[in-house]
Amino acid sequence: MKKHTIAVIVNDQPGVLQRVSGLFGRRGFNIESITVGTSEEQGLSRMVIVTTGDDHTLEQITKQLYKLIDVIKVVDLSANAMVARELALIKVHAEPASRPEILGVVETFRAAVVDIGTQSLMVQVVGDTEKIDAMIELLKPYGIRELSRTGVTALNRGNVKQ
Amino acid sequence: MATQSATLKSKEELIERLSKPEVISGSEILLRSLLLEDVDCVFGYPGGAVLYIYDAMHGNPDFNHLLTRHEQGAIHAADGYARASGKVGVCIATSGPGATNLVTGIATAYMDSVPMVVITGNVMSTLIGTDAFQEADITGITMPITKHSYLVRQVEDLPRIIHEAFHIANTGRKGPVLIDIPKDVSAAKTLFKPVKEVSLRGYNPTVNPNKLQVDKMIKAIAEAKQPLILAGGGVVYSGAHEELLEFVTKTQIPITTTLLGLGGFPSGNDLWIGMPGMHGTYTANMSIQTADLLINIGARFDDRVTGKLSGFAPNAKIVHIDIDPAEIGKNVPTDIPIVGDVKTVLTLANKLAVRADQADEWRASVQQSKAQYPFKYIDSDVELKPQWVVEMIHETTGGDAIVTTDVGQHQMWAAQYYPFNKPRSWVTSGGLGTMGFGFPSAIGAQMANPDRVVVSINGDGGMQMCAQELAICAINNIPVKVVILNNQVLGMVRQWQELIHENRFSHIDLAGSPDFVKLAEAYGVKGFRASNKEEARTAWEEALRHPGPAVVEFVVRRDENVYPMVAQGRTIDQMIMGDAE
Each residue's pLDDT tens digit, B78-112 = 999 999 999 999 999 999 999 999 999 999 999 99
Residues sharing a CB contact under 8 Å with residue B8, sequence separation 6 or more, in sequence order:
none
The CA-CA-CA angle for residues B384, B389, B393, to 5°, reads 160
Find the Cα–Cα–Cα–Cα dihedral B279, B306, B492, B531, rounded to 10°.
-20
Distance CA A6, CA A47 (A): 8
User: What's the pLDDT band for A162 if we cut at 50, 70, 90?
Assistant: low
Q: Chain B partners of A24 at a C-beta cutoff of 8 Å?
A: none
Task: Specify the amino acid at residue B186.
Answer: S
Residues sharing a CB contact under 8 Å with residue B249, sequence separation 6 or more, in sequence order:
none
Distance of CA A68 to the CA centre of its chain: 23
Residue of A nearest to B146 (CA): A68
Q: Which of B116, B278, B465, B492 is catalytic?
A: B492
Does residue B553 have a pLDDT over 60? yes
Q: Chain B partners of A17 at a C-beta cutoff of 8 Å?
A: none
Active site residue B196: no
Q: Which of B183, B317, B370, B481 is catalytic?
A: B183
Does residue B2 have a pLDDT over 70? no
Q: What is the mean pLDDT of residues B354-362?
A: 97
Could you read off the pLDDT of A5-23 as tens digits, one per residue?
Answer: 999 999 999 999 999 999 9
Q: Chain B partners of A64 at a C-beta cutoff of 8 Å?
A: 326
Active site residue B20: no
Alpha-carbon gap: A108 to the closest alpha carbon of chain B (Å): 45
What pLDDT, on the 0 to 100 scale, is given for residue B3?
A: 54
Residue of B nearest to A26 (CA): B144
Residues sharing a CB contact under 8 Å with residue A121, sequence separation 6 or more, in sequence order:
A91, A92, A94, A99, A102, A113, A115
Does residue A65 have a pLDDT over 50? yes
Cβ pair B572, B566 in contact under 8 A: yes
CA atoms within 13 A on the CB side of B164: 21
Q: What is the mean pLDDT of residues B246-261?
A: 98
Of residues B385, B113, B356, B105, the one with CA closest to residue B254: B356
Task: Specify the amino acid at residue B477.
Answer: N
DSSP state of A77: G
- Interstrand relation of B454-459 and B426-427 (parallel, antiparallel or unpaired): unpaired
Could you read off the pLDDT of A125-161 as tens digits, one per residue?
Answer: 999 999 999 999 999 999 999 999 999 999 999 987 6
Exposure of B74 by Cβ count < 10 A (0-12 exposed, 13-18 middle, 19+ buried)? buried
Whether residues B326 and A67 touch (CB distance < 8 A) is answered with yes
User: What's the pLDDT band for B4 if we cut at 50, 70, 90?
Assistant: low
**Number of Cβ atoms within 10 Å of the Cβ of A56:** 11
Whether residues A15 and B139 touch (CB distance < 8 A) is answered with yes
Q: Cα-atom radius of gyration of chain A, to the nearest Å?
A: 19
Cβ pair B255, B229 in contact under 8 A: yes
Residues sharing a CB contact under 8 Å with residue B402, sequence separation 6 or more, in sequence order:
B84, B424, B425, B426, B427, B442, B445, B446, B449, B452, B453, B454, B455
ipTM at complex level: 0.93
Backbone CA torsion sign across B211, B213, B217, B220: positive
What pLDDT, on the 0 to 100 scale, is given for residue B55?
A: 98
User: What's the pLDDT band for B151 if we cut at 50, 70, 90?
Assistant: very high
Distance CA B124, CA B133 (A): 10
Does residue B554 have a pLDDT over 60? yes
Whether residues B202 and A69 touch (CB distance < 8 A) is answered with yes
As beta bridge partners, residue B74 has none
- Interstrand relation of B148-151 and B176-182 (parallel, antiparallel or unpaired): parallel
Distance CA A112, CA A93 (A): 16
Q: Which of B22, B124, B134, B308 is catalytic?
A: B134
DSSP secondary structure of B352-369: H----GGGHHHHHHHHHH
Alpha-carbon gap: B35 to the closest alpha carbon of chain A (Å): 25
Of residues B396, B233, B190, the one with CA closest to residue B321: B233
**Number of Cβ atoms within 10 Å of the Cβ of B571:** 19
Does residue B190 have a pLDDT over 70? yes
User: What's the pLDDT band for B578 if we cut at 50, 70, 90?
Assistant: confident
Active site residue B488: no
Whether residues A69 and B168 touch (CB distance < 8 A) is answered with yes
Share of chain B above pLDDT 90, in %: 97
In degrees rounded to 5, what are phi and psi of residue B504?
-85, 95
Whether residues B140 and A68 touch (CB distance < 8 A) is answered with no
**Number of Cβ atoms within 10 Å of the Cβ of B15:** 14
Distance CA A26, CA B293 (A): 33
Alpha-carbon gap: A43 to the closest alpha carbon of chain B (Å): 12
Distance CA A156, CA A80 (A): 7
- Interstrand relation of B176-182 and A153-156 (parallel, antiparallel or unpaired): unpaired
The closest CB to that of A64, out of B147, B168, B326, belongs to B326
In degrees rounded to 5, what are phi and psi of residue B543?
-60, -40
Whether residues B330 and A11 touch (CB distance < 8 A) is answered with no
pTM: 0.96
Distance CA B234, CA B232 (A): 5
CA atoms within 13 A on the CB side of B305: 26
Could you read off the pLDDT of A25-45 as tens digits, one per residue?
Answer: 999 999 999 999 999 999 999
Does residue B580 have a pLDDT over 80? no
What pLDDT, on the 0 to 100 scale, is given for residue B514?
A: 97
As beta bridge partners, residue A49 has A6, A34
Q: Chain A partners of B330 at a C-beta cutoff of 8 Å?
A: 60
What pLDDT, on the 0 to 100 scale, is given for residue A160?
A: 72
Q: Chain B partners of A56 at a C-beta cutoff of 8 Å?
A: 329
Whether residues B200 and A69 touch (CB distance < 8 A) is answered with yes
Cβ pair B384, B555 in contact under 8 A: yes
Share of chain A above pLDDT 70, in %: 99
The closest CB to that of A18, out of B143, B148, B200, belongs to B143
Distance CA B56, CA B59 (A): 8
CA distances B11 to B1, B8, B38, Å, are: 15, 5, 10
Cβ pair B183, B47 in contact under 8 A: no
Residue of A nearest to B326 (CA): A63
Does residue A62 have a pLDDT over 70? yes
Residue of A nearest to B204 (CA): A69
Cβ pair B514, B489 in contact under 8 A: no
Distance CA B79, CA B169 (A): 12
Residue pairs between chains A and B whose CB atoms are closer than 8 Å: 41
Task: Specify the amino acid at residue B146.
Answer: T
Q: Chain A partners of B148 at a C-beta cutoff of 8 Å?
A: 68-69
Q: Which helix (H) or strand (E) holds B228?
A: strand B227-231
What pLDDT, on the 0 to 100 scale, is given for residue B1?
A: 44
Count of H-run helices and E-run strands, chain A: 4, 9
Distance of CA B239 to the CA centre of its chain: 14
Cβ pair B81, B450 in contact under 8 A: no
DSSP secondary structure of B45-62: ---GGGHHHHHHHTT-TT
Whether residues A66 and B329 touch (CB distance < 8 A) is answered with no
Of residues B413, B420, B374, the one with CA closest to residue B398: B420
Best probe of the B interface among A67, A68, A72, A73, by most B CBs < 10 A, is A67
Could you read off the pLDDT of B488-529 as tens digits, one per residue?
Answer: 999 999 999 999 999 999 999 999 999 999 999 999 999 999
Active site residue B521: no
Whether residues B202 and A22 touch (CB distance < 8 A) is answered with no
Best probe of the B interface among A20, A63, A68, A69, by most B CBs < 10 A, is A69
Cβ pair B202, B168 in contact under 8 A: no
Distance CA B25, CA B31 (A): 10
Q: Cα-atom radius of gyration of chain B, to the nearest Å?
A: 24
What pLDDT, on the 0 to 100 scale, is given for residue B493?
A: 97
What pLDDT, on the 0 to 100 scale, is given for residue B285?
A: 98
Active site residue B492: yes
**Number of Cβ atoms within 10 Å of the Cβ of B311:** 14
Task: Specify the amino acid at residue B197.
Answer: E
As beta bridge partners, residue B555 has B486
